[in-house]
Every structure is written in structure tokens, then in C-alpha cells.
Amino acid sequence: MTTTPAEDGGLGAALLQLSQHGERLAGLDRALADVHVKLTVVRGTLRGHGKTLEALDGLDQAVQALADQLARPAPPGGDEAGYEPIPVAKWWQLTAEDRANAVGRLRSWVATIYQPLYGHLGGQLGDCWPQHPLALMTFDWLSELWNVLYLNPDRTARDLTSQAELGVRILPAAAALLAAETQDCREHGGGGHPAPRTAGRV
């Protein structure tokens, strides 16, 4: 059976049109695959943020309770003065030398207290934390709060409650923030986790 030139032209046009539709469908498949990958990344990010928000739940009440406790006058008795917090570090104004001194102080506290004593919480911290302003500011207040609660010569029932609040509410929330900031850090060479330390160094 033979076809006329008109039929040949119509068949060719139809085949060309089908080929173009096929290319468009292939392009749509690639675009959908890209969208799927991006949605997977977004879901993972949202899950991470959700965990951080859960850790922060109720943190404002815990901080207020500690603030109320620290604002109360010390009970009578005992000649040894309690720990007094150092002045606030104004990280945005520090000279290079002052910044280095402040970071050194925090490095010492992290190495002797935070990482050896707080198990998996300390193990979540990335090596590059001194390069993160959020980490520096967090460790600044966290270390001083710890010092106020643990370096005083005496301990009252209120002090014990404050230590419990720090251990089960405030410090885990701070550790979640620090982990989110420093884990898998690509800006400073991958972040990563420090080698485990033992409590024997304290």
C-alpha cells in the first residue's frame, strides 16, 4: 500500500509533534525529580528545627526561675564569699587581643567542664565552635551560670533546684542550639565532633 505526499507530510508532522511532546515530558520528569530532592532536604531541615524548638519548650520559665533564685540575697552563714559573675563580654566591640583572651577562657571551661562532664551533650559540639558568634555568646552566659551554681561554698535547697533546672532544661536546650550551629559546618571546614574527653581532666 502506498501513501500520497499529503499523507506522508501529515504522518511526519504527527511524529514530530509526538517527539516534541516526549521531550517536554522528559523535561517535566527531571523537574519533578529536582523538586522531590529539594522537598526531601526541606523536610530534613524542618525536622532538625522541630527538635530544637522542642528542646526550647518551657525554657523561659526555667530561666525566670533561675533569675529569681539568683536575685535573692544569700543566706546568712559562712565567711567565704560566693562566686561573682564576670562582666559581660561585648563580642561585637572586643579588640583582637581581648577577643582572644575571652575565647581562651571559654575554651578552658568547655574543655574542663562542658565536654568531660555532660556526655552526649558535650559530644554534639563541632570543633569550629570558637568561630561561631552564637556559640561564643551561649558559652559566655552558660559558663557563668554554671560557675554561680557550682562554685559557691554552700548549697541551699534553692541552689539544688536551680542546679536541676540547669541540668535538665537549660543546658540541654543550649546544647541543641550549639549542635545546630556547629554540626556539619561547611563554612569552617566541616565542623565535626571533637574527640571524647574523660572527666579525669577536671
Q: Where are the domains of the chain?
A: 7-57, 58-73+85-202
Q: Distance between CA atoms of 50 and 36, rounded to whole angstroms?
A: 21
- Indicate the pTM of the whole model: 0.56
Contact 118, 175 (CB under 8 A): yes
Over residues 62-105, the pLDDT tens digits come to 566 556 555 555 544 444 567 888 998 999 999 999 999 999 99
Kindly report, residue by residue over 134-177, the tens digit of the pLDDT.
999 999 999 999 999 999 888 889 889 999 999 999 999 999 99
Residue 123 phi, psi dihedral angles, 5° rounding:
-70, -15
Distance CA 60, CA 135 (A): 19
